[in-house]
C-alpha cells in the first residue's frame, strides 16, 4: 500500500478534475477561436473555467491568464515586469529560499547586467520585513517573494513587502510565487497587494501541464507568446482546454472545501510532530509552523537520500527537498545554515486532504525502522 507524503511535489488528480478533462477532450473539443457554433461553445467553456479559477483566487476573471505551469508563470512575471520597468532601473530584490523557477531566471538576468539582492532567512526560515525595507532602492524595479516556501512551509511577509514598496516610493512591481500557498493559506491578490501572482494546477489536485498568472488589472504586461491573440493577446496559442477544465474543477472544489481541508492537514501535521517527539525523538522539526501541509524534519547523522530510499521500500513516499533539485543539495535547507549532520538528514513531509492517520502510522513506523536499521554517517 502506498503512503504518500510528497504532496508539495505533486498531488493526485481528483476524480472531478479527471472527469472535467475527459469531457473537454471527448465532448467539447472544439477550437475556442473557431467562429462556428461548436467553437463558440468551447470559447464559452473557457470563459466559465476562467471565472471559476478567478473565484478561487479571489480576483476578476480578466486578471487570470492560463499558462502551462507555475514555472512558466514565474518566468513570464519576472521578464514582463522588468520589460515594463526597463527605464526605471536594474535592481531586483528576492529571497534566498525562492523556488528555482524564480532564482534561475534571476541568475540569467545578473549575467545581463541586473543587480539582485537576496534576502536571507533566519534559522527558522522566516524573514523580517525590515530586511526588505532596507534593501529597497530608487532603482528597484522588481520584488519577487513567495507566499509559502515549498520546502519549509514558512509563510513569507508578502503583504508587508507591498506596504514597504509603497512607503519607499520606488517603482518596483511585486511578484508572488503562490504555488504552495494557493488553497493552503487564505489570501487574495488584492489583500496581498501584489501586481503579479503565480499558481499551478498539479499542486491542487489538477493534472500537470497547467497553471495561471494573475496580472493586476491595469498592468500592461508584455505578451509572452505572440501569435493568434489568445489569452487577451498575452499568451498566444490554442488553449489547452482539457488541462484548463481540470484546473478550474480542482480550484472550484478546493476553494469550497479549503477550510475543512486545511484544518485536517494542520491536525495531521500536529499529530505527526507529537508522535515524532514521542516515538522518534532523534527526529528534529526544522521550522515553527506556518502552512498546514508542509513539515520539514531532520534525522541528524543519517543521509536523507538513504532514508528516502529506505522508506520507499516500506511504501512511504517523501522527499529530501524540492523535486526540482533532482538529488542535488537543497539551497533552501542550506540557507538555514544548519550544522552539517542536520543538513544531510533533512526531509520534507507534505500532506494533502487525502492523507490519513493510517498514513501517519506508516510514516512513523518507517522512520523508527530507518533509525534502528540504517547506519549513521560520521559527518
pLDDT in tens, 145-170: 999 999 999 999 999 999 999 999 99
What is the pLDDT of the chain when averaged over all its residues? 95
Q: What is the pLDDT of residues 256-288, one digit of tens each?
A: 999 999 999 999 999 999 999 999 999 999 998
Residue position matching grid coordinates 491578490: 189
Lowest mean pLDDT among 241-250, 253-262, 308-317, 326-335: 326-335
Beta-strand pair 294-298/284-285: antiparallel
Beta-strand pair 3-4/91-95: unpaired
373, pLDDT greater than 50? yes
Q: Looking at the domain covering 15-256, what would its CATH class be?
A: alpha beta
Residues 6+ apart with CB under 8 A from 64: 50, 53, 54, 57, 212, 213, 214
Architecture of the structural domain at 257-373: Alpha-Beta Complex (3.90)
Domain boundaries, the chain: 15-256, 257-373
Check residue 324 and give its pLDDT.
55
Check residue 379 and give its pLDDT.
47
- Bridge partners, 350 (sequence order): 6, 294
| Active-site amino acid positions | 324
Q: How far apart are CA 61 and CA 54, in angstroms?
A: 5
Residue 288 has which C-alpha cell?
515553527
Give the pTM.
0.96
Q: How far apart are CA 217 and CA 214, in angstroms?
A: 9
Residue 372 has which C-alpha cell?
534502528
Amino acid at each position: 500500500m502506498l503512503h504518500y507524503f510528497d504532496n508539495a511535489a505533486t498531488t493526485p488528480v481528483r476524480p472531478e478534475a479527471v472527469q472535467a478533462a475527459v469531457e473537454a477532450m471527448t465532448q467539447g473539443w472544439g477550437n475556442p477561436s473557431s467562429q462556428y457554433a461548436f467553437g463558440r461553445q468551447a470559447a464559452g467553456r473557457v470563459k466559465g473555467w476562467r471565472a471559476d479559477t478567478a473565484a478561487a483566487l479571489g480576483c476578476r476573471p480578466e486578471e487570470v491568464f492560463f499558462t502551462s505551469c507555475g514555472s512558466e508563470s514565474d518566468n513570464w512575471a519576472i521578464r514582463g515586469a522588468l520589460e515594463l520597468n526597463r527605464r526605471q532601473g536594474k535592481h531586483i530584490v528576492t529571497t534566498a529560499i525562492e523556488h528555482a523557477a524564480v532564482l534561475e531566471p534571476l541568475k540569467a538576468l545578473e549575467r545581463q547586467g541586473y543587480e539582485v539582492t537576496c534576502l536571507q532567512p533566519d534559522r527558522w526560515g522566516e524573514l523580517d520585513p525590515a530586511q526588505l525595507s532596507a534593501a529597497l532602492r530608487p532603482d528597484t524595479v522588481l520584488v519577487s517573494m513567495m507566499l509559502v516556501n515549498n520546502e519549509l512551509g514558512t509563510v513569507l511577509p508578502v503583504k508587508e513587502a507591498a506596504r514597504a514598496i509603497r512607503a519607499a516610493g520606488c517603482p518596483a512591481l511585486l511578484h508572488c510565487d503562490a504555488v504552495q500557498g494557493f488553497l493552503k493559506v487564505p489570501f487574495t491578490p488584492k489583500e496581498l497587494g501584489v501586481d503579479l501572482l503565480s499558481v499551478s494546477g498539479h499542486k491542487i489536485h489538477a493534472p500537470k501541464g497547467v497553471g495561471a498568472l494573475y496580472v493586476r488589472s491595469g498592468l500592461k504586461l508584455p505578451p509572452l507568446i505572440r501569435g493568434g491573440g489568445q489569452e487577451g493577446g498575452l499568451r498566444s496559442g490554442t488553449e489547452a482546454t482539457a488541462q484548463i477544465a481540470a484546473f478550474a474543477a480542482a480550484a472550484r472544489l478546493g476553494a469550497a472545501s479549503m477550510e475543512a481541508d486545511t484544518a485536517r492537514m494542520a491536525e495531521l501535521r500536529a499529530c505527526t510532530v507529537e508522535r515524532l517527539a514521542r516515538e522518534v525523538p532523534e527526529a528534529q522539526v526544522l521550522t515553527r509552523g506556518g502552512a498546514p501541509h508542509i513539515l520539514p524534519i531532520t534525522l541528524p547523522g543519517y543521509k536523507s537520500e538513504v532514508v528516502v530510499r529506505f522508506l520507499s521500500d516500506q511504501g512511504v513516499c517523501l522527499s529530501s527537498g524540492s523535486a526540482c533539485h533532482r538529488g542535488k543539495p537543497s539551497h533552501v535547507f542550506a540557507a538555514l545554515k544548519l550544522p552539517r549532520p542536520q543538513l544531510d538528514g533533512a526531509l520534507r513531509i507534505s500532506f494533502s486532504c487525502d492523507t490519513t492517520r493510517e498514513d501517519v502510522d506508516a510514516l512513523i513506523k518507517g522512520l523508527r525502522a530507518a533509525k534502528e536499521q540504517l547506519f549513521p554517517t560520521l559527518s
